[in-house]
Structures are given as C-alpha cells and as structure tokens.
Amino acid sequence: MAYARAGRRRRFSLWANGLPRLRCRPVTPLPRRLVTWLLLAVGLCAALTAEARTKRAPTELRDFTAQVTKVRDGDSLEVRRGKDFYEIRLARLDAPELRQDRGEQAKQFLESKLLGAEVRITAKTIDTYGRIVGDVTYRGGKSINEDIVAAGWGWWYKRLYPKDSVMESLERRAREQKIGVWQDKAPTPPWLFRQKGRR
C-alpha cells in the first residue's frame, strides 16, 4: 500500500504499546527546493564565467616576443618563449572552426603568415580555456588580427568588441570584395556554428 503524498514525507514511530503510528511532517515541496538550488548554481556559474573572461593576463605576459611553433586553427596558435609554450587566442575576431566550411583555408592562411615567425604578443586577458587573448604583430608591426579580417578569413567579433571601428571597416570591405569566407553567399558565423554543437 502506497503512503506517499505530494508535499509530505511519511515517518513511522511507536506507541508505548508497540503499535505503529503513522506520523506526518510537512516539508518544503521538492520543486521549490530544486528551483532554489538551480538559481544558486546558475548564479555561481555566471560569476565564475565572468571572472574567467575578465581575468587579466599576468604582468610578465602582457607584452612579449615569442616564436610561433604551431597554428591550431584560423584564430589560435602556440608560441614558444624560452623553454615555455603558450596558447594564444587572437583577439577581436572569430575565424571559422576547422570542421566548418572554409575552416582549413583559414588555418592555412594563418600558417602561411606566422608559422615559424617571431611575433610580438600584446595580451589582454586569459580566457576560460587558459589561453592568452591578445593582439599579435609580425614583420615590423603588422597586425595579424587585422590582416585575417581584411583577407576575409575571419569575422569581426562584434559581441566582445562592439566599438572596434577598424575591424568593422575591414570586414565590410572584405564582404564587398567577396574574398575569404565571403566568397560564399551566406557563410555561417563560427559562434552560431558552435551553438549548434557541430564543433
């Protein structure tokens, strides 16, 4: 025989004569508790994410030179500084993912420019993956961040850098010239591609 009833928890206790008695104690409904815990969890996650996204790069890594040892995709690479290796995420742009249309071409463009080269990194933050996010210059001060968008192999990352008029102008020009990813009629921005879980 089932004794469960919504909103109540059932317990057994004993009378002095040993006969069982059913005693009810009202408790907080489970859904309300779940909502409370979920809200707390979401708040904590949001706080941690915000902290991670705005974490500043260490002082010694805010401006340094290094050699590019590997290109991971169209907007991230690995560099060596002495005996240390660092992963760099290029700021202000978002390039196609490797499994996305034009992703391999975007990677090849970055490799042709930087693989094996000496570069200067001006770091901004450390992202949620532990990568240094910043601007990278090469060949006497050319910005690879801007060159990628100018060549059409990356999007201006408007959501994170809404006031970057330079990137806005470079992307608009690449669209008009129909170069890079803009050769396609309606290229999918990488952030939408990631949202669909196809990374």
pLDDT, tens only, 143-159: 999 999 999 999 999 99
In the predicted structure, residue 8 carries a pLDDT above the cut 80: no
Q: In terms of Cα–Cα distance, which of 112, 62, 108, 113 is closest to 88? A: 62
Cα separation, 121 vs 6, in Å, equals 61
Domain ranges of the chain: 8-53, 59-195
Give the per-residue pLDDT at 55: 86
Q: How long, in residues, is the chain? A: 199
> Does residue 32 have an active-site annotation?
no
Cα separation, 70 vs 105, in Å, equals 15
Q: What percent of the chain clears pLDDT 90, i.e. is strictly above it? A: 67
Hey, CA dihedral for 74, 186, 171, 174, is it positive or negative?
positive
Specify the range with the lowest mean pLDDT, choosing from 48-62, 100-114, 121-135: 48-62
In the predicted structure, residue 41 carries a pLDDT above the cut 70: no
Q: In terms of Cα–Cα distance, which of 113, 110, 133 is closest to 122? A: 133
Three-state secondary-structure class, residue 46 = helix
> Does residue 78 have an active-site annotation?
no
| pLDDT band of 171, cuts 50, 70, 90 | very high
In the predicted structure, residue 33 carries a pLDDT above the cut 90: no
Active-site residue, selected from the candidate residues 92, 102, 131, 146: 131
Active-site residue, selected from the candidate residues 92, 97, 102, 171: 97
Residue 77 · residue 91 · CB < 8 Å: no
Residue range 73-85: mean pLDDT, rounded:
97
> Does residue 89 have an active-site annotation?
yes
**Report field, pTM of the whole predicted structure over 0.95:** no
In the predicted structure, residue 50 carries a pLDDT above the cut 90: no
Cα separation, 99 vs 193, in Å, equals 10
Which is more confidently placed, 93 or 33? Answer: 93
Active-site residue, selected from the candidate residues 11, 51, 56, 89: 89
In the predicted structure, residue 127 carries a pLDDT above the cut 90: yes
Class of the domain covering 59-195: mainly beta
Residue range 6-26: mean pLDDT, rounded:
41
Quick one: how far is CA 109 from the chain centroid?
22
Residue 74 · residue 104 · CB < 8 Å: no
75 burial level (CB within 10 Å; 0-12, 13-18, 19+): buried
